[in-house]
């Protein structure tokens, strides 16, 4: 037996370990986004398992287990088409959360009923529909007060949730990063705090004063009730989450400051949920992030580098999608991720051209922009996506009403070259033209000029590289300290 066979007795002699590897076999491996999508679809809620309304306030947080749901909305303004589109969006939200939608109702009122949201008569009609269809959850298209939730539950005899709680549940399912999970939990606790309810005899859990020591009359007290304990725990947890989010913000600000110091232009992709922002990011940069035909499929922001047709470097940030009536506490909790929009040099406002009402999507996103400091002063390009599935008449109306519009299809690649050209035209221009001799030992500066600047001409001499280029002020100052103007050579 040879020395090799002694060391590896189990190795097969039929395998030639000297063969070169065939790297083409790795071409079919799934990308990051495909693996994320497979992981998300690996666990689904099972229909048919009942969710009964039993002492749901005994816990600090009740995780939604949506199954068979009935939708209900209040139509207060606009046309009937607007009301139906709003309920259709609620249907998509419910299906994204893992539900099966059975029925949908719209109640025409001047304003929601203060007691049961839809009025006592419609609430009883809703209860009959719930009993007939076997639904176990009612989803309301609006934010309900604690009193409305409680009274409507008493009438329909099943669990009632509102639009805000539904969005929070979707966010809780899709958050992946540590910061995203902390932000979702903070928004959930902020929503839950005023909606805690006592339950029967569980209101008081301890005795105050000296009653525990056997003191009789005059020494007894109700003590701290369970609901007060729950509220105190929630406030303590919220304070801890705010501290954690503040600490995690420091790392992101450091990265952003580094990009700002190098004066790399920043472009933010923003828009309505499911408009195709992640698909556009993949098309422009090959990022390979998760793409799914669902609302709020991508929650955690992604920043990638990209280049214009002339080779200018810029960063492209994919942000969380917006939606009509976005809960105010969500905007507060996700303000740190929306800073990518406020600090951008250019905003790509993506809108779904195949949507029944794309103009309402534009209005809803701009309403959120108004709550982000500095976002209103940033140049905006309206990118009408899904052109391959959109009505040409709708595309013509959008391009006529919006000043800076580019029609693209992230799926087919149509219009992407035009979009790149528009991005290059709208990015901040280089305002310093230089012609300098850079020593060969400072090749890093030459690389930075190629990467961050606009090179017009390059000439190699015995003493160094003569660069004729346009650069930003920060890089110009560094060149001045190291290079020499070519006229003095």
Q: Are residues 286 and 158 in the same domain?
A: no
Q: Are residues 102 and 131 in the same domain?
A: yes
> What single DSSP character describes residue 199?
-
- Within-domain flag for 120: yes
- Number of domains composing the chain: 4
Q: Are residues 251 and 395 in the same domain?
A: no
Q: Are residues 256 and 269 in the same domain?
A: no
Q: What is the CATH number of the domain that holds 71?
A: 3.40.50.11060
Residue 148 CB neighbours (<10 A): 21
Q: Are 226 and 198 in contact (CB under 8 A)?
A: yes
Q: Are residues 297 and 258 in the same domain?
A: no
Q: What is the CATH number of the domain that holds 346?
A: 3.40.50.300
User: From the DSSP assignment, how many helices (H) and strands (E) are in the chain?
Assistant: 16, 14
Closest CA to 374 of 409, 343, 405, 400: 343
- Within-domain flag for 452: yes
Of the three residues 426, 459, 476, the one that is the final residue of a domain is 426
Q: Are residues 191 and 150 in the same domain?
A: no
Residue 225 CB neighbours (<10 A): 15
Residues 173 and 181: their CA atoms lie apart, in Å, by: 9
Tell me how far CA of residue 60 lies from CA of 154, 176, 227, 378, in angstroms: 21, 22, 9, 42
- Within-domain flag for 4: no
Query: What is the DSSP annotation of 335-401?
Result: HHHHHHHHT-SEEEEEEETTSS-HHHHHHHHHHHHTTSTTGGGS-EEEEEE-TTTS-HHHHHHHHHH
Q: What is the CATH number of the domain that holds 439?
A: 3.30.70
Q: Give the pTM.
A: 0.69
Closest CA to 321 of 356, 286, 293: 293
Q: Are residues 273 and 239 in the same domain?
A: no
- Name every residue whose Cβ is closer than 8 Å to that of residue 408 and which is 6 or more positions away in sequence: 280, 383, 384, 385, 387, 414, 415, 416, 418, 419
Tokens read off for 263: 């004066």
- Within-domain flag for 200: yes
> Which tens digit of pLDDT belongs to each residue from 74-123?
988 888 888 888 899 899 889 888 888 999 999 888 899 999 999 889 99
Q: Are residues 328 and 455 in the same domain?
A: no
Angle at 317 between CA 316 and CA 321, to 5 degrees: 135
Closest CA to 86 of 137, 131, 139: 139
Per-residue pLDDT tens listing for the chain (489 residues): 444 444 444 444 444 444 444 545 444 545 566 566 566 555 454 444 444 554 444 433 344 445 789 999 998 888 888 888 889 989 988 988 888 899 999 988 889 999 999 988 999 999 999 999 989 899 999 889 888 998 999 999 998 999 988 988 888 887 777 888 888 889 889 888 888 875 444 445 445 555 445 544 554 556 566 778 888 899 999 999 989 888 877 776 776 666 565 567 889 888 888 888 888 888 888 766 666 666 776 676 778 888 888 777 888 888 778 888 877 777 766 766 677 777 788 899 999 998 888 888 898 888 888 877 777 778 899 999 999 888 889 899 888 888 889 999 988 889 999 999 999 888 877 567 888 899 888 888 888 888 777 788 888 888 888 888 888 777 788 888 888 887 644
- Name every residue whose Cβ is closer than 8 Å to that of residue 46 and which is 6 or more positions away in sequence: none
Domain that holds residue 355: 264-426
- Within-domain flag for 408: yes
> Which tens digit of pLDDT belongs to each residue from 318-357?
877 888 887 777 776 676 667 777 778 889 999 999 888 8
Q: Are residues 232 and 291 in the same domain?
A: no
Long-range CB contacts for residues 114-117, cutoff 8 Å, separation at least 24: 114/145, 114/147, 114/148, 115/147, 115/148, 115/151, 116/148, 116/151, 116/152, 116/155, 117/72, 117/74, 117/142, 117/144, 117/148, 117/152
Residues 347 and 390: their CA atoms lie apart, in Å, by: 22
């Amino acid at each position: 037996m040879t020395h090799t066979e002694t060391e590896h007795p189990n190795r097969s002699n039929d395998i030639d370990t000297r063969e070169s590897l065939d790297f083409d076999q790795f071409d079919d491996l799934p990308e990051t986004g495909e693996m994320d999508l497979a992981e998300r679809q690996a666990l689904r809620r099972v229909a048919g398992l009942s969710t009964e309304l039993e002492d749901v306030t005994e816990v600090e947080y009740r995780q939604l287990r949506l199954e068979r749901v009935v939708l209900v909305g209040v139509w207060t303004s606009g046309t009937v088409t607007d009301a139906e589109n709003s309920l259709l969006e609620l249907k998509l939200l419910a299906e994204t959360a893992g539900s099966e939608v059975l029925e949908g109702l719209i109640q025409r009122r001047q304003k929601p009923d203060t007691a049961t949201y839809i009025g006592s008569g419609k609430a009883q009609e809703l209860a009959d529909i719930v009993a007939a269809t076997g639904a176990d959850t009612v989803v309301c298209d609006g934010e309900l007060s604690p009193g409305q939730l409680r009274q409507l539950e008493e009438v329909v005899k099943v669990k009632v949730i509102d639009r805000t709680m539904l969005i929070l549940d979707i966010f809780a399912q899709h958050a992946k990063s540590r910061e995203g999970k902390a932000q979702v939990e903070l928004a959930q606790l902020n929503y839950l705090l005023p909606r805690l309810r006592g339950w029967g005899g569980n209101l008081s859990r301890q005795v105050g004063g000296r009653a525990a020591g056997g003191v009789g009359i005059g020494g007894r007290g109700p003590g701290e009730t369970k609901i007060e304990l729950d509220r105190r725990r929630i406030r303590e947890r919220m304070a801890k989450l705010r501290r954690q989010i503040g600490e995690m913000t420091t790392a992101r600000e450091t990265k952003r400051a580094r990009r700002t110091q190098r004066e790399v232009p920043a472009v933010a992709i923003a828009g309505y949920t499911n408009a195709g922002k992640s698909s556009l990011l993949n098309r422009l940069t090959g990022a390979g992030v998760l793409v799914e035909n669902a609302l709020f499929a991508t929650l955690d922001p992604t920043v990638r580098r990209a280049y214009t047709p002339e080779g200018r470097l810029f960063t492209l940030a994919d942000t969380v999608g917006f939606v009509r009536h976005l809960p105010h506490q969500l905007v507060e909790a996700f303000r740190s991720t929306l800073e990518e929009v406020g600090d951008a040099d250019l905003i790509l406002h993506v809108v779904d051209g195949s949507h029944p009402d794309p103009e309402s999507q534009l209005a809803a996103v701009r309403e959120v922009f108004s709550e982000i400091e500095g976002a209103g002063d940033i140049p905006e390009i309206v990118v009408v996506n899904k052109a391959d599935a959109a009505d040409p008449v709708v595309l013509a109306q959008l391009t006529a009403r919006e000043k800076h519009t580019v029609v693209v299809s992230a799926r087919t690649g149509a219009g992407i070259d035009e979009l790149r050209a528009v991005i290059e035209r709208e990015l901040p221009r280089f305002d310093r033209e230089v012609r300098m001799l850079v020593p060969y030992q400072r090749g890093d500066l030459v690389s930075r000029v190629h990467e961050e600047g606009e090179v017009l001409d390059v000439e190699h001499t015995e003493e160094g590289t003569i660069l004729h280029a346009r650069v930003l002020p920060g890089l110009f100052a560094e060149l001045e300290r190291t290079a020499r103007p070519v006229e003095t050579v």
